Structure formats: structure tokens, C-alpha cells
Amino acid sequence: MPRKIERRSWAEPYKMKMVELLKMTTRPQRVKAMREAGYNTFLLNSEDVYIDLLTDSGTNAMSDMQWSAFMTGDESYSGSKSYFKMEKAIKQYYGYKYVVPTHQGRGAENLLSQILIKKGDIVPGNMYFTTTRLHQELAGGTFVDIIIDEAHDPLSEHPFKGNVDLNKLEAVVKKHGAAKIPYVCIATNVNMAGGQPISLDNLKQLRKYTQEHGIKIIHDMTRVAENAYFIQQREPGYANKSVKDIVLEICSLTDGATMSAKKDALVNIGGFLATNDDFVYEEARNLVVVYEGMTTYGGLAGRDMEAIAVGIKESVDDNHQAARVGQVEYLGQRMMEFGVPIVKPIGGHGIFVDAKAFLPHLSQDQFPAQTLASEIYMDSGVRTMERGIVSAGRKPNGEHYYPNLELVRFTIPRRVYTQAHMDVVAESTAMVFDRRKKIKGMKMVYEPKYLRFFQARFEKL
């Protein structure tokens, strides 16, 4: 009797041509490394890491086409032909009129915040991102969260947890007046909410409302193609549209964008500011030479811009996104089979484990997510990241922000790891879950002033 096949597996739309060998470590080695790193996974040496899920930022595997374009980089100080290739790709795939390159996303956030924000301004957004909010604050603005409540609930299965609550926005406009709001900052596939998308329907409503009030929309388009994939999969009316077309439609509903090309665009470094606005472009051209470099390289090598141009094109391919988001889904499903509490629905760039539910016996002051990330590393050499109270930092008045979400992020680099790696990750997390009651919290013993999660140090209680 021939065996009946109940499901057809999918696999990545690429094969490997080169591999990077990894060091295997023992538990005593990892315990020592973790202690020396102050129980902060950012402070580990990557050599001591087996599977590195710290971030999906700059950790992508480039394609052979990107590497070959890399070799053709024009390293001229000014007017590099590589810049024009990148500009052409940005116009073609994202539709923005003007482009100013920056060394990475936060370089663009700095320029944009300085240009558009005045002291006392209010910047509403669909949840904060660390560097984005800090640049808004440094420019004199105050960030206000206007994401729907479901985004702060790890158990809510809302398909578009990146959506804006228009009532929240309206309350901000009523309280402060539209003149105090230079723009609304809209992230596609909201990182801190767990890689959750915004729907086109919501974005269209937001566009209508903001246009009526003369408020711009600035798009944090770091993971726009992943968001577009979710729209294709989940939003009525989009099943037959390509990721490429959906990306263009999203961008067309906004006035400008900051981009960290280190994510979606499949490169290891780079970013840009894009805008349709003549004034913003003129100002950005003035500022970029102060902070980043000439307007045709903005802190990037010509070869980086070549790789970005090719990466953008590859990122909007439907098959690429199906495998990319599919791998994240696979890891999430395995975690759920083991009963590990994760943010649902499964997001686009990683799995976010709910550390409050994982370690309910720890108070938020005992840094449950930081603790869990260190335990997982010690178990298997898998490096993850805290996205909870440590990442949230302190308010301008010095108090901790106490975010609802206390998460450990397992971020999947694009095109880097196999499904077998994902199995190792899920099994390690399950092992730590089985002995969770024995895990003790931590205290912070060193706290830097800015973006403390990068360098803070901890000790076990």
C-alpha cells in the first residue's frame, strides 16, 4: 500500500553555497560566559553563541546576486553610481520621491526628528521603538502610544495588532491640538508588539483622519514587506495581490519614511530617509552632511548601496516572504506544542515569549525577561533578547517605564538558519520551561544613561 501523504512540506527558495562554522560550548562554559557578561545577552561574545537570535538586524545572509553587486560598488566620494541604483530601487519598490542615505535606521530617525519636531511637540505612534522614541525625545518631543489595546495583550489573537486606535489619536489631537503634532509615526510590522502588522484598512482610515487635520504620516518601514505578506494572507481583498504591490500601496499612504535596511532589505548595514516633501528633503540634505556623510553616500560604502538595491528587490518576492515568515511560524508552533507562552498571533520576525507568564513568581522589578534570556543561553547557547522593562528604560522624570509586555524576543535572521536549528531552539526553551519554578530573578548593578538594555549589567538574586 502506498503511504498516504497528509501534508506537503514547503522549503526555502534557495540553497546554500557557503557556510559559517559555529563553536559548540558546554554548559559550564556558557554559565561562565553569561556571568562575565553581567547576565546581559548583548554583552556576550558572539563566538560563544551557538544560535544567535539576538536580532534580525544586520544579520541577514546576502544572496549571490547581492554579493556580486557588492563587488561593483562605486566608492566615489560624490555622485556614486551605486547611490543612483539604490535610489532607483527605492523609487521603484517603495514609491517615495526623494532619498537620503544614512548609515542605518537611527541615522534617518535623527535627521527626521531634528527636521520635524519642535520642543513641546507630541508624536503619536503605533507603539514605541527604542531608538525612534529616543530621537523624538532628544528633539524635544513626547511620544504618545496610540496602538490598539490588543497590542499590549500577549493573548489577544487580533490579526492586526499593529493597528492604530483612532479614538486614542483623536483624544491626543483634542488635548494638544493638531498644530503640536508634526506627524504620526507608523511602524509596519510593529517590532515591540511582537512583529505584528497594521492593516491597509486601518492605514487608510488613519490617512483620511490625518489629512483632515493637516498631520503627516511618517512610516517606519523597517519591516514593510513582512507586513505586506500578512496583509496578503489575512486582509480581505488582498489574497491575489503580490507583496510587491501591497508594499507600494502602504508607502503611498504615507508622506515619508525612515528605513533600517538591515532588516527587510536583506543587508548587513544601511538605511535611509525617504520623503515626498520638498522641505524635508532640502533640510535632510543639509543635515546629512553634518551627521552621516555626503548626500550620495550618507555613511554607506558604495558596495553597501549596491547590496541594498538588490536586497530591496529580493525582499518583495512572495516566495521569499512565505519562507521567511513561514520559518518564524514553524518555531512558534513548536513552542506552543511544548506549552511555552508566546505572543499570538505569531509575528513576522521572531517569537516573543511572555516572560511574565513563564516566570509568574518574579516581579517586573526582578527583570523576568532579562532572567529568562540568560537562562536560555546557559541551557543551549541560544542567544535571545530582553524586550521588557530594561528595554523600556526610564521616563524623562527618571522613573522606570513599566511596559505591559515583558517579553523575550527570539528574532530570526533572514535566510540564515535551518528548521533543525529551530527545533534546537524550541526544545531548549521547553527544557527551561520545565524547571521554571526554580529560576530566581536578578538585580541591576550597572545602568547606562541611554538605551540601557545594550549595556546594563545584572547579578542573580
Shortest Cβ 221–ligand F0G spacing (Å): 9
**CA–CA gap between residue 328 and residue 347 (Å, rounded):** 7
Nearer to ligand F0G, 31 or 451 (CB): 451
Identify the active-site residue in 106, 262, 387, 452. 387
**342 near ligand F0G, rule: CB under 6 A:** no
Identify the active-site residue in 74, 220, 255, 354. 220
- Which grid coordinates belong to 149? 489595546
Shortest Cβ 334–ligand F0G spacing (Å): 22
Nearer to ligand F0G, 73 or 413 (CB): 413
Checking DSSP bridges between strand 442-446 and strand 256-260, what pairing results, if any? Answer: unpaired
263 is a catalytic site residue: yes
Shortest Cβ 350–ligand F0G spacing (Å): 9
The residue of the chain with the least Cβ separation from ligand F0G equals 105
Cβ distance 275 to 87 under 8 Å? Answer: no
SS (H, E, C) the chain: CCCCCCCCCCCCCCCCCCCCCCCCCCHHHHHHHHHHCCCCHHHCCHHHCCEECCCCCCCCCCCHHHHHHHCCCCCCCCCCHHHHHHHHHHHHHHCCCEEEEECCHHHHHHHHHHHHCCCCCEEEECCCCHHHHHHHHHCCCEEEECECHHHHCCCCCCCCCCCECHHHHHHHHHHHCHHHCCEEEEECCECCCCCECCCHHHHHHHHHHHHHCCCEEEEECCCHHHHHHHHHHHCCCCCCCCHHHHHHHHHHCCCEEEEECCCCCCCCCCEEEEECCHHHHHHHHHHHHHHCCCCCCCCCCHHHHHHHHHHHHHHCCHHHHHHHHHHHHHHHHHHHHCCCCECCCCCCCEEEEEHHHHCCCCCHHHCHHHHHHHHHHHHHCEECEEECHHHHCECCCCCECCCCCCEEEEECCCCCCCHHHHHHHHHHHHHHHHCHHHCCCEEEEECCCCCHHHCCEEEEC
Nearer to ligand F0G, 134 or 322 (CB): 134
Footprint (CB under 6 A) of ligand F0G, residues 160-219: 187, 191
**CA–CA gap between residue 442 and residue 460 (Å, rounded):** 4
Shortest Cβ 190–ligand F0G spacing (Å): 7
Identify the active-site residue in 25, 102, 130, 254. 130
74 is a catalytic site residue: no
Nearer to ligand F0G, 104 or 136 (CB): 104
Shortest Cβ 411–ligand F0G spacing (Å): 6
Nearer to ligand F0G, 132 or 210 (CB): 132
Identify the active-site residue in 93, 417, 453, 458. 453
220 is a catalytic site residue: yes
229 is a catalytic site residue: no
Nearer to ligand F0G, 187 or 340 (CB): 187
Nearer to ligand F0G, 150 or 386 (CB): 386
130 is a catalytic site residue: yes
Footprint (CB under 6 A) of ligand F0G, residues 98-137: 104-106, 129, 131-132
What is the total count of residues that contact ligand F0G (CB under 6 A)? Answer: 15
State the residue for C-alpha cell 562554522: 21
165 is a catalytic site residue: no
Binder among 25, 260, 371, 384 for ligand F0G (CB under 6 A): 260
Shortest Cβ 173–ligand F0G spacing (Å): 24
Nearer to ligand F0G, 230 or 433 (CB): 230
Cβ distance 128 to 152 under 8 Å? Answer: no
Nearer to ligand F0G, 271 or 302 (CB): 271
- Which grid coordinates belong to 286? 543639509
77 is a catalytic site residue: yes
- Which grid coordinates belong to 129? 521603538
Footprint (CB under 6 A) of ligand F0G, residues 215-254: 220, 222
Identify the active-site residue in 85, 244, 263, 324. 263
Binder among 25, 41, 57, 63 for ligand F0G (CB under 6 A): 57
Shortest Cβ 436–ligand F0G spacing (Å): 25
Shortest Cβ 423–ligand F0G spacing (Å): 24
Cβ distance 297 to 80 under 8 Å? Answer: yes
The 261-300 site mask, x for binding ligand F0G (CB under 6 A), equals -x--------x-----------------------------
Please state the length of the chain. Answer: 461
Residues that bind ligand F0G (CB under 6 A): 55, 57, 104-106, 129, 131-132, 187, 191, 220, 222, 260, 262, 271
| Residues tagged active-site | 77, 129-130, 220, 263, 387, 453
